[in-house]
């Protein structure tokens, strides 16, 4: 089981999406901005995370593989000693980013926090590999490490102490943490004890709070994956068909209830405290934007596509409504920021 698989779905969305351009028009509510010079294909990278200060982090073709951007200034993130590559997934309001540092020679991965662009290791002595995926404003870090048994374990690193979060299942104990909010609520994914019929076990998204891990509901015949949560405890992610077809559905969990946002192959990747959700539609219309009471819209309905822009998918949204992800202008593509225009 790969409990921490957002990178694979980032790449899948770019390759699988064949977005339908929205009708062009004036007074659109969003204006796209290219964060770095675009290149052909996905080579220029993807914006993965944004905080409320407008600091954006993601991966790109730079020497170390990851960057952070603020007000037009780009900082290349530096790996841990002995490594040559980094990947970044989350950021807090203090500008601390988290992800992993790795060696492309030994393929060892270490969980890392990036401060001032420089990696510091999140120490996990029992790990053969590890990555950090979320950080809150107190500096609490969550992620996943692989133990010597080859199984994943969700972890919380707080005040210099490491805690295993456990699993939902007992037959195979395998889990991974995806995000943490400022209330200390954590979301992630774990095996449960139900076999899938193909030699594996079903996966459930979980919410962890007050020392207890609780499975989030899903549809019959589907597994579930949590990606992000907000301060209200709302969770964005996806449900995934158990038949191996790769059939995903973008999902929102609110007060323990499942709401499927898009009845097409899709996944939700970011959420803010207003309950606005962004993500990818893997075939058809590209990225999507969900707003409570207004439903789902294509990201390309929110911009003037007559300028050549096409937003392929979104990864995150902050409290100011700024959206980041992957987009193209003409034949060139790369990390994109969508700024609200006030319309």
Q: Summarize pLDDT for 256-295 with one digit per residue, the tens.
A: 899 999 999 999 999 999 999 999 998 876 799 999 999 9
Domains contained in the chain, number: 1
pLDDT at 81 over 50: yes
Domain-located, residue 143: yes
Tell me whether residue 98 is in a domain. Answer: yes
pLDDT of amino acid 12:
37
**In CATH, what number is assigned to the domain containing residue 306?**
2.120.10.30
The answer as to whether 1 is a domain residue is: no
CB 238 within 8 A of CB 216: no
Domain extent for 65: 6-340
3-class DSSP assignment, residue 343:
coil
Q: Alpha-carbon distance 77 to 75, whole Å? A: 6
The pLDDT, as a whole number, for residue 343 is: 59
Average pLDDT over the chain, rounded to an integer: 91
Average pLDDT over residues 115-122: 97
Q: Is the pTM of this model over 0.85?
A: yes
**CA-closest candidate to residue 311, choices 319, 323, 322:** 323
Give percent of the chain with pLDDT exceeding 70.
91
One-character DSSP codes across 146-206: E-TTS-EEEEEEETTEEEE---S-SSS--EEEEEE-TT--EEEEEEEEEE-SSSSEEEEEE
């Amino acid at each position: 089981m790969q409990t921490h698989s957002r990178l694979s779905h980032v790449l899948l969305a770019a390759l699988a999406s064949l977005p339908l351009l929205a009708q062009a028009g004036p007074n659109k509510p969003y204006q796209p901005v290219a964060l770095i010079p675009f290149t052909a294909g996905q080579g220029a990278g993807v914006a993965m995370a944004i905080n409320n200060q407008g600091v954006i982090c993601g991966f790109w073709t730079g020497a170390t593989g990851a960057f952070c951007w603020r007000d037009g200034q780009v900082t290349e993130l530096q790996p841990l000693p002995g490594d040559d590559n980094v990947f970044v997934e989350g950021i807090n309001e203090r500008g601390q980013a988290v992800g992993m540092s790795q060696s492309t020679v030994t393929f060892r991965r270490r969980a890392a926090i990036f401060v001032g662009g420089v990696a510091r290791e999140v120490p996990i002595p029992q790990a053969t590999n590890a990555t950090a995926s979320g950080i809150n404003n107190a500096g609490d870090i969550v992620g996943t490490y692989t133990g010597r048994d080859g199984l994943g374990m969700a972890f919380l690193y707080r005040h210099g102490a490491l805690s295993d979060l456990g699993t939902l299942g007992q037959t195979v104990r395998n889990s991974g943490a995806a995000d943490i909010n400022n209330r200390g609520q954590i979301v992630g994914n774990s095996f449960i004890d139900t076999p899938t019929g193909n030699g594996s076990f079903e996966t459930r998204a979980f919410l962890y709070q007050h020392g207890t891990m609780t499975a989030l509901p899903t549809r019959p015949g589907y597994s579930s994956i949590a990606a992000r949560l907000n301060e209200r405890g709302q969770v964005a992610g996806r449900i995934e068909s158990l038949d191996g077809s790769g059939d995903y559905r973008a999902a929102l969990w609110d007060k323990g209830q499942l709401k499927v946002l898009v009845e097409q192959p899709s996944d939700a990747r970011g959420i803010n405290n207003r309950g606005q959700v962004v993500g990818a539609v893997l075939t058809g219309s590209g990225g999507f934007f969900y707003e409570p009471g207004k439903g789902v819209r294509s990201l390309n309905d929110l911009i003037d596509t007559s300028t050549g822009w096409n937003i392929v998918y979104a990864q995150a949204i902050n409290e100011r409504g700024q959206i980041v992800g992957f987009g193209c202008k003409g034949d060139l593509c790369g990390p994109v920021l969508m700024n609200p225009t006030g319309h």
